[in-house]
Structure 1
């Protein structure tokens, strides 16, 4: 698995709970407390051990931890690049949702070694969507749930979200109900400059 994912988990734990929690988790997972090199490959088992150790250390459900990771990737100031990449998807939440199918290709432009599973957005009825996530990255559906929730806040949209399906191979689905496109004030964003 790409070191960027493991590094994101490392930063999430360190930024959210402190260096001590990261160090405890790293030791329990059998990885160096120095962490991961973002551009190096790591076996999937390393990520699995890291997530299991973090869930045990924090006494949290793994799925909830992954959902919080998705929120962190968008909302934490240290991860501004992820938010920026996602905001290029559209001027409102609906446009953003419709751009999700292009996300794997956009991510590869920025990080050629990061291969995300296929994403397919289906609109069942006006304002009701289903994001289908292809196999290959277990836990991505839970991360997507947190990320989609944080992006709704970012755009000022009111949504309800749910995990519709998840498979052992990483395939999953998230249901999205867009209740109000302009429910509140979203965060400022300009395509022309970094905030």
Structure 2
């Protein structure tokens, strides 16, 4: 993953728990470098170790750490210069999610070594939709929940989200049911 991801993990921890807590997490994860370089690639294992160490230090389950990170990531990337790209993605969360793969295509031009997931929206008769998520990386579905919650905040929408298919339980992909509430 690019250093931008690890910098965002750091930003989340520092903003909510302070620099000393981040230093404990970084050391527990075995990360020597004190600063990540946004455009440099790091092994996925570095990010997974940071999440594991954050879980231990903060006393939170890893899925809750990933969920918090997903929500933070949405706001972080908008502040890190990708806000205009977000605005071009749509005027509602549903429209944005439907355009997410096209946006990822633009991100791949900026970060050519990135390995991005694939998303597909499927509208349901009751007005909700299913978000299909496919990734070569395991265990990141909780982060998607956080991303969706962050997007809902960005678009000023109130949603209900539930995971209805789970790769860790043998499903071919993760699927989330999303309903916009009044």
- Unaligned 5+ residue runs, structure 2? none
Q: Matches of 1:73 and 1:165 in 2, distance apart?
A: 23
**Structure ranking higher on relative contact order (CA contacts 8 Å, 6+ apart):** 2
* Residue 161 of structure 2: aligned partner: 161
**2:154 counterpart SS class:** helix
TM-superposed deviation, 1:137: 2.5
Aligned length: 180
* Residue 50 of structure 2: aligned partner: 50
Task: Tell me how large the CA RMSD over aligned residues is.
Answer: 2.5
| Contact residue 166 and residue 172 of structure 1 kept, 8 A | yes
In the alignment, is residue 177 of structure 1 matched against residue 176 of structure 2? Answer: no
- Unaligned 5+ residue runs, structure 1? 181-195
Distance 1:128 1:115, change over 3 A: same
Q: Matches of 2:20 and 2:11 in 1, distance apart?
A: 12
TM-score, length of structure 2 as denominator length: 0.84
Between Structure 1 and Structure 2, the one with more helix by share is 2
TM-superposed deviation, 1:28: 0.4
Counterpart mapping for 1:1-195 below 5 A: 1-32=1-32, 34-75=34-75, 79-168=79-168, 171-180=173-182
TM-score, length of structure 1 as denominator length: 0.79
TM-superposed deviation, 1:33: 5.2
**1:115 counterpart SS class:** coil
